Amino acid sequence: MRFIETVSVITGAGSGIGEATAIRLAKEGSKVILVGRTEKKLNNVANKIDLNHPNAAEVFAADVTLEKDVFTLAEYIEKNHGSLHVVINSAGGSATSKIRDITVEEWDQIFALNLRSVFLVSKILGNLMTKSLDNEKYKKDRAIINVASLSGYKAGAQIPHYSASKAAVINFTRALANEFAAFGIRVNSVSPGFVETPLIEEGMKNQRFIESLKRNTALRRAGRPEEIANVISFMASPEASYMTGSDVLVDGGWLVT
């Protein structure tokens, strides 16, 4: 129960790693605010959480690539909870294309999903996190965790915009950690490898893809969202109190094969 009496925001909470992380944080005592664009998906996750942890989950539909939506989210949190302790930037997306074929609009869309969202949420909710630091009622460990990717280390085939944006997330995390350390807010990132989420759902139906994944991953399988959530929950917890500006690679041994 590492997150008793804390408030956590999880973006991209409607599925995959975001969903698994929200479930994990709620299980450990946090009030979780589920953020995403599709309210139906968020409600499904909230219902799962409420089965075992009544009233632990709240739903807030928002597009975190839009500044006005993130400001509205911050106002909601301040009005209803007064403070914020944990932010998980899990929202993101990808598309396949060769560099020569990518349009400017496609490039900007992927960077908005993966990088601008992290910037806006970290900036605006980060300001909210700093506002109540002097209030003894809210004195708890505070952390921001950004979900990057293995592709930020090794560019994937035909996902140059995704790879570039995730590499930027890793470096932005370091810059953010340096600036927010003055407020006692820790900032780290996690870089998952291939994980069974909607992002690789189609690939997991292809036997050639599965065999290639096994051949190139030391542990010979894809990861599960819960395994990434385990790492994120540690990084967000007081147990990681001397950890900031780090990226944790959770790739099943892809880079060592």
Contact in structure between 166 and 114 (CB atoms under 8 Å)? yes
E strands in 131-220: 142-147, 185-192
* Residue 162 annotated to the active site: yes
> What is the domain partition of the chain in residue ranges?
7-250
Sheet holding 247-250, edge to edge: 57-61, 31-36, 7-11, 86-89, 142-147, 185-192, 247-250
Structure confidence at residue 140 (pLDDT): 73
Residue with tokens 């096994």: 214
Catalytic residue among 76, 153, 162, 242: 162
Contact in structure between 171 and 228 (CB atoms under 8 Å)? no
Per-residue pLDDT 10s for the chain (257 aa) are 999 999 999 999 999 999 999 999 999 999 999 999 999 999 999 999 999 999 999 999 999 999 999 999 999 999 999 989 999 999 999 888 999 999 999 999 999 999 999 999 999 999 999 986 666 555 578 999 999 999 999 998 889 999 999 999 999 999 999 999 999 999 999 999 999 988 777 777 888 888 989 999 999 999 999 999 999 999 999 999 999 999 999 999 999 99
Residue with tokens 């900032």: 187
CATH of segment(s) 7-250: 3.40.50.720
